Amino acid sequence: MTTPYNYTRIGLTWISFLSYALTGALVITSGMILDNIAQYFHLPISEMSHTFTFLNAGILVSVFFNAWLMIIIPLKRQLIYGFILIILAIVTLTITHNIIIFSICMFMLGIVSGITMSIGTFLITYLYAGRQRGSRLLFSDSFFSFAGTIFPIISAILLTHALPWYWIYVCISIIYLFIFILTLFIEFPEIKNNKAIEHAEKEKWGLGVLFLSIAALCYILGQLSFISWIPVYLTKSMGMNIVTAGQLVGNFWMSYMIGMWVFSSFMRFFDLHHILVLLTAVATSLMCWFIIAHDITMLRWIIIILGFSSSAIYTTVITLASLQTKVASPKLVNFILTSGTVGTMLTFIVTAPIVENFGVRAALILANGLYGIVFIMCVLLGFFSKHRQHDYII
């Protein structure tokens, strides 16, 4: 029999799933529509890429401050305000033709995305414990990949049918509509006056959190540097058309999503740190192979395996960080999310000058180097991690 508590738990879990889908859709489609938006505003593609920094900056700012805002503003109210903001931003995108207003709208979308993902991640760490938390986070992050699979294909279809690029954001807003509907009918946990969380805030994090924060930053910066420039690399350097390039990006996220489903089923039976070291080593090697390969068929298989092997890295980093204390506090979870979001914000800031001066392939080489740093951080983590003290199953 399903109790009211279970209904609430299921609803909150689905909000977490959809929050990752929203962020994935917003971030991943940037690379697909970058060239079209650059033409729309009559700007060079490298210069246009900087405007997406406003999207990433919005995510960073909201994730950083939401550790404190969660205590001041109830979670339910934040999500309702987010729905109003996302509708306002997308309507503005469709009726204006101004680069400054476009940048402001991107910032607003980033704010909404960051708040929603921050709440979604906290809800999972609040509702689930031990290794079960890791499997639930993996399944949540699979919705990021699901959006990465679907929305590049949707983007390619819309663009090939000569529809305006902003219709992609209209499609993305449907995800938040479902979040909004669930929010109206579900009770959210109160963070204020929660003694367990207050105790966790005072507990020392240790060096393991530092290594995990560096890993989170480098992983997200490396992944997005790689995947954001893949469409341009494939069309300009490899001679593919935009539809084929979009399918290749979709293949990456499809295998990424499948990998999360697979890992979420059995990773609870293995040590999370050992899995993390293995996956980062494999992913680093595969990305290097992709960069030096030239056969299109081989590229497709490499990117599929790369997506699968990369799928559990980021959520395992978040899970291990949340297990460095007895109770996962909003500040600890948001600190790791903030570190990853810094990587998101830096994506085009770092790669655009590299692409402009050295070409797209140089950005891919940088991404590979960042994956190498992630592997090193994960190896060092083994000497300081406290996760085995709190790695129980509920």
One-letter-per-residue 3-state SS of the chain = CCCHHHHHHHHHHHHHHHHHHHHHHHHHHHHHHHHHHHHHCCCCHHHHHHHHHHHHHHHHHHHHHHHHHHHHCCHHHHHHHHHHHHHHHHHHHHHCCCHHHHHHHHHHHHHHHHHHHHHHHHHHHHHCCHHHHHHHHHHHHHHHHHHHHHHHHHHHHHHHCCCCCCHHHHHHHHHHHHHHHHHHCCCCCCCCCCHHHHHHHHCCCCHHHHHHHHHHHHHHHHHHHHHHHHHHHHHHHCCCCHHHHHHHHHHHHHHHHHHHHHHHHHHHHCCHHHHHHHHHHHHHHHHHHHHHCCCHHHHHHHHHHHHHHHCCHHHHHHHHHHCCCCCCCHHHHHHHHHHHHHHHHHHHHHHHHHHHHHCHHHHHHHHHHHHHHHHHHHHHHCCCCCHHHCCCEC
- What is the per-residue pLDDT across 207-243, written as a single tens digit (0 to 9) for each? 888 889 999 999 999 998 998 888 888 887 777 777 7
- When mean pLDDT is compared across 11-15, 130-134, 143-147, 318-322, the lowest value belongs to 130-134
Chain center to CA of 28: 9
Instruction: Provide the whole-model pTM.
Output: 0.74
Q: What is the pLDDT of residues 73-102, one digit of tens each?
A: 888 999 999 999 999 999 998 888 888 898
| Backbone φ/ψ region at 163: left (φ over 0), alpha (ψ -120 to 50), beta | beta
**Taking all residues of the chain, what is their mean pLDDT, rounded to a whole number?**
82
CATH topology of domain 4-389: Growth Hormone; Chain: A; (1.20.1250)
Higher pLDDT, residue 285 or 257:
285
pLDDT tens for each residue of 301-355: 999 999 999 988 988 888 888 777 766 666 777 788 788 888 877 888 888 889 8
Choice among 96-110, 118-132, 184-198, 353-367 with the minimum mean pLDDT: 184-198
The mean pLDDT value for 42-68 works out to: 79
